[in-house]
Amino acid sequence: MSDYQQKVSGPLNERMRLIRLRRKKEKLHFWQEFRIVPKGLIWTVVALFLLAQIIAYSLNHWNFVRYGDIVPPELHDEPELAYLAMAGIVTLVSFFMSIFIFLIGYVNRDAKRRGMNSALWTLLVIVLLPAWTFVGFLIYFLMREPLPYPCPQCGKDVGPRFNFCPNCKCNLHPSCPNCKHEVAETDKFCPYCAQELTSSIGTTSTSGEMIVDRSAQ
């Protein structure tokens, strides 16, 4: 039983290591990522924020004129400050709500560009949102596929699940020639047996083994 678990967990750990390496190469920046949020969604949030401010001010003013009550009641004698305080409360609530709305829009667009099921992941984060707040987003960020990356041989973009480059047939999952474990393109030595993996463009065979360059020795 333990031998079976080792066989199953071994390839999984190797796959996760390669995924982590490819994620590190993405070099994502906040404002660049924010730009993928649909502009229509951003303008909708802005419009709803302005509408909420107008409604809050109108109700507060109407209540003060008609009944003499104002929110917050501590500023009853200074209605101008009360209106500002009410605007601040609406702004604070709107800020936190907009974070969730923008995250939902981001998950939808980000999943699509990574070749994942955008509708399913968007639904997942929405369903988990009322009870578990950020848990759905945390699951997504932990499970999402790496972005398409340039082929190490020809430079064309390839999907993270591709085994071979469709442009030059470069093996995208090379293995160590000594122990046959899968290695990353950036590895200089095999992480399992310490075999040297010095390679250059064109030195990765289509059979899946990293050809070792001995000329430097």
Query: What is the residue-averaged pLDDT of the chain?
Result: 80
Per residue in 27-71, pLDDT (tens digit) is: 778 888 899 999 999 999 999 999 999 999 999 999 888 888 888
Cα 15 to Cα 19: distance, rounded to the nearest angstrom: 6
Query: What proportion of the chain, given as a percentage, has pLDDT over 70?
Result: 78
Q: Which two tokens stand for residue 188?
A: 């200089």
Q: How confident is the model at residue 25 (pLDDT cuts 50, 70, 90)?
A: low
Q: Which two tokens stand for residue 124?
A: 């997942």
Note the pTM of the prediction, 2 decimals.
0.68
Q: What is the secondary structure of 115-156 as a DSSP string?
A: TS-HHHHHHHHHHHHHHHTTHHHHHHHHHPPPPPEE-TTT--
Per residue in 141-182, pLDDT (tens digit) is: 988 888 887 887 888 888 776 778 888 888 777 778 888 777
State the pLDDT at residue 6.
Answer: 38
Per residue in 122-134, pLDDT (tens digit) is: 999 999 988 888 8
Cα 119 to Cα 108: distance, rounded to the nearest angstrom: 7
The CA distances from residue 105 to 116, 153, 169, in Å, are: 15, 35, 36
State the pLDDT at residue 179.
Answer: 84
pLDDT over 90 at 93, yes or no: yes
